[in-house]
Structure 1
Amino acid sequence: MNFEQVNALNKLLSSQKRIAIVPHKNPDGDAIGSTLALSHYLSKKGHKTHVLAPNDFPKFLKWMPGAHEILNFERHNTETKKYIAEAELIFTLDFNDFGRVGQMAGCLENASGDFIMIDHHQQPSDYALITYSDVSMSSTCEMVYTLIDSLGDNDLIDKDIANCIYTGIMTDTGSFKFKATTSKTHRVVADLMDKGADNVEIHQWVYDTNSPSRLHLLGCALKNLVILEEFNTAYITLTQEELDRFNYEKGDTEGFVNYGLTLDNIRFAVIFIENKEEGIFKISFRSAGSFSVNEFARNHFDGGGHINAAGGKSERPLQETIDFFVSLLPQYKKALTE
């Protein structure tokens, strides 16, 4: 954070406030970790905080300190609207446009509180009084650590906060293997471990609690893998029927898209997952090297994200979606093969 942002935030937080903290729809480890960590920190500073999620989040994150107190907009609609309307400050974490919160967008657009954005995705919208945006950061959780440290409160990071921040950094960096993982990231993680973050336990909770049905779903996804050698590209499809057959639960497909990038010479990996309720195919894009899936998703699939990780959607049927996707690849062949 820069000097002006630190001063402005210190001023806003100088007296007790009613604060709402909001992650994006379908929150992942970074979204849940950052919102819970910030909530714990602000509560220790004497503020009244509520974490308000647009919808539910995966079971493998529900062990996190404070997770049971998160209000789900779909399930606790009246309470969530009330807390947003009453909030004097609204922190939005791990997203930078109201389009990322689904049906919750209208409530945020009509809110009277001041917004503070904390996010590491590209091209932030201009809705916040304070916009802390840094695309060079590994994760929003690393940004929350930096915020707390910049406010002079590093000593307030206890075991609960450390576990939350560690979880978000670990999951958003692919266990510290992605390009955005810097030497600073490792120094932050070292400090979190010194403050009580249990790296072994966190890894077990996140990665080692699979159900048999999830592993069977992974097998189905890998069976559906298609390799387009000419474009160094691989894609996976999962239909609603396949999800239902293997008793899909929220979070079960987390990380599936990354299997494409484990193949030799593959630089672009994609997964298309049907959501019949919303009438769309949700798409995750991953890349290795300099190929920007953020631009690809923004240009063609109403999405966006990071250079090497982004999301999008398609309202076309599966085969039309695949045909359209494949038809785009020739114009990117040079970037994908050189």
Structure 2
Amino acid sequence: MKIELLTEAEVASLNTLIESSENIVVCCHKSPDGDALGSSLAWNAYLTSRGKHANVIVPDAFPDFLKWIPGADRIIRFDKNADKAGEMLEKAELIFCLDFNGADRVDEMREPLEQAKAKKVMIDHHLDPSMDTVLTISHPNMSSTSELVFRIVWQLGAFEEMTKEWATCVYCGMMTDTGGFTYNSTQPEIFFIISQLLTKNIDKDKIYRNVFNNFSPWAIRFRGYLMSQKLNVFADLHASYFAISKREMRDFHFIKGDAEGLVNEPLRIKGMKLSISLREDDRHDNLVWVSLRSVDDFPCNKMAADFFNGGGHLNASGGRLRCSLEEAEKVARRAIAHYEDLLK
């Protein structure tokens, strides 16, 4: 089965960049998810296996349910250690940008990243890469950036040396970015990759439990409240949305990650094609985060670009609105109405 995806020129360029660099930084996007962390930590482990000094820097906090991932305790948060992280970026000879397609995705880390003199390499699976790099490895048809990392390491001939911890990071990233392999995961190569990861003695069932069965009692009550009291269903259009306010998050002792995956729940309704989640930012006024999920060929990414200043994948996208939550709900209703013909 063909796993390789780099050209001979890309392999040569990547090897040369790594060999000629001793001080390396790996970074990912704001609000890191399982794929961002999994791919970054896995790639960092590969670089370390080659004798390189590498560090993982993330823009801000990641969910509690991902803190168990091997290597997570060594991650440097830019929002908590801006001076240290900034110095690392400044002194780096090579920076790997994983799971994001543009510098705007790293938020407050953007300026030091763009000003860094290091050569930059992108490894990503999102559409329309826009960063200035010496090497861009962009494959939007891949399930995840973690899958890309596996394929690259496999092609570089280093899979046999990689550890159980490395394989755990890759599997977690692939699993989370496909909703437990329930979407964007029909390529047969994906299951070959899983079979190879299992040879490293990973416990895939425990990885699943660590991610998806790791909520607090408050989080479960919060999710039940949203589905019973806040879900707006447009049955004739096979669409839905729900909105989460700052007050509701305070009332249910919300912590980062408590709403993770919740946008997928309405898609369990028979015939549902589209689900939209709106969530007020808990620190800033008039900022609403938007997540969109769909099934089959409904273009979440186009709706996100048209109405929510965002983008992403066909069936999983996101965006943001600079407005009140009430106004954001009106935008969501307009978006659903605009796409009536595709939703019916």
TM-score bucket of the superposed structures, by smaller chain = over 0.9
Q: Secondary structure at the residue paired with 1:286?
A: strand
Kept in 2, the 8 Å contact 1:138–1:172? The answer is yes
**Which residue matches 2:203?**
198
1:183 paired to 2:180: no
- For 1:328 and 1:270, the matched residues in 2 are separated by 10
- For 2:335 and 2:66, the matched residues in 1 are separated by 36
Deviation at 1:15, TM superposition (A): 3.7
Kept in 2, the 8 Å contact 1:16–1:46? The answer is no
Q: For residue 278 of structure 1, what is the amino acid of its counterpart? A: H
1:82 paired to 2:72: no
Kept in 1, the 8 Å contact 2:275–2:293? The answer is yes
Pick aligned residue for 1:72 from 66, 73, 77? 77
Kept in 2, the 8 Å contact 1:116–1:131? The answer is yes
Q: Secondary structure at the residue paired with 1:312?
A: strand
Q: Secondary structure at the residue paired with 1:107?
A: helix
Deviation at 1:14, TM superposition (A): 2.1
Unpaired runs of at least 5, structure 2: 1-5
Spell out, residue by residue over 1:65-86, the C-alpha distance to the aligned partner (whole angstroms, 9 max, x if none): 1100000001111110011001
**Which residue matches 1:116?**
121
In the comparison of the two structures, how many residue pairs are matched?
Answer: 337
1:234 paired to 2:240: yes
- For 1:159 and 1:200, the matched residues in 2 are separated by 14
Segment of structure 1 superposing worse, 296-305 or 75-84: 296-305
1:301 paired to 2:308: yes
Runs of 4+ in 1 over 4 A off after TM superposition: none
Spell out, residue by residue over 1:98-130, the C-alpha distance to the aligned partner (whole angstroms, 9 max, x if none): 111110000111010011101111111141111
Kept in 1, the 8 Å contact 2:21–2:94? The answer is no
Kept in 2, the 8 Å contact 1:136–1:180? The answer is no
- For 2:166 and 2:55, the matched residues in 1 are separated by 15
Pick aligned residue for 2:215 from 206, 210, 219? 210
Segment of structure 1 superposing worse, 173-182 or 86-95: 173-182
**Which residue matches 2:55?**
50
1:268 paired to 2:280: no
- For 1:116 and 1:161, the matched residues in 2 are separated by 20
Kept in 2, the 8 Å contact 1:22–1:93? The answer is yes
Q: Secondary structure at the residue paired with 1:63?
A: coil
Unpaired runs of at least 5, structure 1: none
Q: Secondary structure at the residue paired with 2:339?
A: helix
Q: For residue 301 of structure 2, what is the amino acid of its counterpart? A: N
- For 2:186 and 2:68, the matched residues in 1 are separated by 25
- For 1:34 and 1:333, the matched residues in 2 are separated by 37
Spell out, residue by residue over 1:18-40, the C-alpha distance to the aligned partner (whole angstroms, 9 max, x if none): 11100100000000000000111
Q: For residue 252 of structure 2, what is the amino acid of its counterpart? A: F
Identity of matched residues, %: 35
**Which residue matches 1:324?**
331
Kept in 2, the 8 Å contact 1:163–1:196? The answer is no
Pick aligned residue for 2:226 from 210, 221, 224? 221
Q: For residue 201 of structure 2, what is the amino acid of its counterpart? A: G
Kept in 2, the 8 Å contact 1:158–1:196? The answer is no
- For 1:304 and 1:128, the matched residues in 2 are separated by 21
Deviation at 1:16, TM superposition (A): 4.6
- For 1:310 and 1:128, the matched residues in 2 are separated by 24
Kept in 2, the 8 Å contact 1:267–1:288? The answer is yes
Pick aligned residue for 1:6 from 11, 24, 30? 11
Spell out, residue by residue over 1:127-186, the C-alpha distance to the aligned partner (whole angstroms, 9 max, x if none): 111111111111110000011111121212210100000000111111111033421111
Q: For residue 327 of structure 2, what is the amino acid of its counterpart? A: E
TM-score normalised by structure 1 residue count = 0.97
Segment of structure 1 superposing worse, 33-42 or 121-130: 121-130
